[in-house]
Amino acid sequence: MVIQWFPGHMAKAKREVETQLKRVDVVLELRDARIPYSSANPMLDRLIGEKPRLILLNKADLADPSILAEWQAWYHAQGIETILLDVKQGKGLQQIERQAFQLVSARLEKQRAKGMNPRPVRAMILGIPNVGKSSLINRWSKRNIAKTGDRPAVTKGQQWVKVSPQLELLDTPGILWPKFEDQKAGYRLAICASIKDEILNVLEVASFAIAYMRNHYTDRLEQRYGITSWEEEPWRAIEQIGKVRGCMMSGGRVDLEKAAQIFLRDLRQGQLGPCCFERPEDVQEVEE
């Protein structure tokens, strides 16, 4: 299965972002803490250019803290600072505003030196679908302004939101890129629900996830499903999960698609514990 997804509204959103960038002071790039590298849109580097940027790793509560520490050290070594977020609990929000002001402090001081009262800092939120942009805005502004949903492509347009007297945010639709050069990145995005399940082969996505979990989190699979013996082929493990969860069809056959959906739902909701689906060494293999 080749994973690609670039709906027409995303192409329009990309053009709108290019137009609006000149109106903002800083870019807040939201990524999924479970896949910090794969959830980075490579188009954004060119779009953003030299504009000040903060990288926010949302859903940190669902990510493996030890692997997250590795990622933060990896980015720090490149001169990139990251902020861990748990938007549902409101953790990390104050740190965003503080660091955003630091990035534009030179402009603010220059305006004050001229006797001007600086206008609110304008920030644009960018990121892939279903990474939590709208939830962040709603939590930050303490209002249900942005439409949310546990699926990609909920936000279709742009809107300005004032989250404090000193900061305004521009919400934008999630933007994926036209072609995944690394298909593993496509699978990781699919695991984290950044691509619609309706256009995917969920059995293949679940099989990819099973293979990764078996290599890194075998104990989680055993604890959740009570399975102590894992067959070599990932789909066999999904078949076992289906038997445990009662996904049976006539003739004693397992409904593999239903079992795959149950497994992916468990994984996405954190029922198997906090997980990361890529590590810095995985990225090094891609870049070399």
> Does one domain contain both 137 and 224?
no
101 and 209 together in one domain: no
Identify the CATH number of the domain in which residue 223 sits.
1.10.1580.10
pLDDT band of residue 288 (cuts 50, 70, 90) is: low
Q: Over pLDDT 90: what percentage of the chain?
A: 40
pLDDT of residue 11: 64
Whether the per-residue pLDDT at 193 is higher than 70: the answer is: yes
Lowest mean pLDDT of 112-116, 176-180, 263-267, name the range. 176-180
In three-state secondary structure terms, 275 is: coil
Its pTM stands at: 0.84
Going by their DSSP bridges, the two strands 159-164 and 167-171 should be labelled as: antiparallel
**What is the reported pLDDT for 34?**
97
More confident residue, 119 or 192: 192
Q: Does residue 28 share a domain with residue 162?
A: yes
The band of 156, judged by pLDDT with boundaries at 50, 70 and 90, is very low
Domain interval for residue 138: 8-171
Share of the chain above pLDDT 70, in %: 85
- Say if residue 216 is in the same domain as residue 156: no
Q: Are 80 and 53 in contact (CB under 8 A)?
A: no
Residue 86: inside a domain? yes
Together in a domain, 208 and 250: yes
For residue range 71-85, what is the model confidence (pLDDT) as tens digits?
A: 999 999 988 889 999
Note whether residue 182 is domain-resident: no
Structure tokens that stand for 186 in this block? 């496509």
Domain count, the chain: 2
Task: Please give the residue that has the higher pLDDT: either 132 or 268.
Answer: 268
- Would you say residue 184 lies in a domain? no
157 closest CA partner among 5, 15, 39: 15
**In the structure, what pLDDT confidence band is assigned to residue 205 with cuts at 50, 70 and 90?**
very high
What is the per-residue pLDDT across 8-19, written as a single tens digit (0 to 9) for each? 555 666 777 778
Instruction: Tell me how long the chain is.
Output: 288
43 and 111 in a single domain? The answer is yes
Q: What is the CATH number of the domain that holds 24?
A: 3.40.50.300
Asked whether residue 178 carries a pLDDT value surpassing 80, the answer given is no
With a cut of 80, say whether residue 147 has pLDDT above it: no
**How do 26-32 and 121-127 pair as beta strands?**
parallel
